[in-house]
Amino acid sequence: MARPTDDFHFRIDVAHSGQRLDRVLAELLPDCSRSYLAQLIRSGVLVVNQQPRKPSYRLGLGDVVSGHRPPDPEPVRYAAEPIPINILHEDASLIVLDKPAGLVVHPAPGHPTGTLVNALLAHCPDLAQGDDTHRPGIVHRLDKDTSGVMVVAKERRVHESLAHQFKQRLVRKHYLAIVRGRMKTTKGEIDLPIGRHPTDRKKMSTTTRRGRPAMTRWFLRQQFESAALLALELKSGRTHQARVHCAAMRHPILGDPVYGPRMRGNAVLPVQVAQVLKDAGRQMLHAWRLTFYHPDNDREVTFEAAMPDDMQRVLKRLSRQ
């Protein structure tokens, strides 16, 4: 049963000055998830100086945050669906799987069903709940059209351990990407901050004023006339990091509809390659290898997912140039 609501007022002190409104409220109201509080902020239930603000609003010294203490959010129940998943490893604590391209990781507006979470609940009904009940078992994400290795927690302690490893950058993440153009060297490093695009809120950018540190190392595995196969090592975990960083060095990932299509000065793809890429219908990015410490014994473990067929077909066509 939800507890009754009551009024509250909180005056911002030096310790909280400059922080985002949603982050401060998540600290004040630890029983509520940050995403739930963001909804209440947008609806005007929680205000600053009696004025509605955005969740990203930066609080100033002396600001007064007020509103009604919200009731505990009702638990979200998602339906288990018999969607096939390719499990690479499973034990009592976790599942490692190879996510196919086209599969959304968790339910969200526009995708209430048919997600990886729905599939996992059919396979394992008692998935661990982390800080967000909308994503049972989910520790990290891959974009809908990115394939590859993911780890899922079965127990809360495992979820906490893995989440800590990701936060502390103890997890090693390697990707394979087919990018446009010819590389000038055989390896390199992209050290550019990533944040929300200044004008398009659905995109990320390396030119935003409030970017967060991000680093990607790349290694040339195969060079073709108009494209290259790269191995990427993501040293951080920003949204769209691989896609944004490849575009930033003017070698966007093939098939990326957001960061690649209008970039000038890149090699033109042959018609045959363009057709195979069109048939694939997604960016040529694959989460190839994941290394972490198993929460049960602290031993380092590595899991790999073979390159999917659509990327292999693109490489095969590129090799015929």
Active site residues: 143
Please tell me the distance from the alpha carbon of residue 131 to that of residue 227, in angstroms, as a whole number: 41
Radius of gyration of the chain measured on its C-alpha atoms: 22
Please tell me the distance from the alpha carbon of residue 116 to that of residue 112, in angstroms, as a whole number: 11
Encoding tokens for residue 263?
Answer: 């970039």
Other CB atoms closer than 10 Å to residue 305's CB: what's the count?
22
Sheet of 46-48: strand order equals 7-11, 64-68, 46-48
Could you say which DSSP state residue 298 is in? -
Please tell me the distance from the alpha carbon of residue 35 to that of residue 24, in angstroms, as a whole number: 13
62-97 burial string, b = 16+ CB within 10 Å, else e?
ebebebebbeebeeeebeeeebebeebeeeebbbbb
Encoding tokens for residue 106?
Answer: 């968790």
**CA atoms within 13 A of residue 152's CA, in its CB half-sphere:** 32
Which residues are CB-neighbours of 12 under 8 A, at least 6 positions away? 24, 59, 60, 61, 62, 63, 64, 65
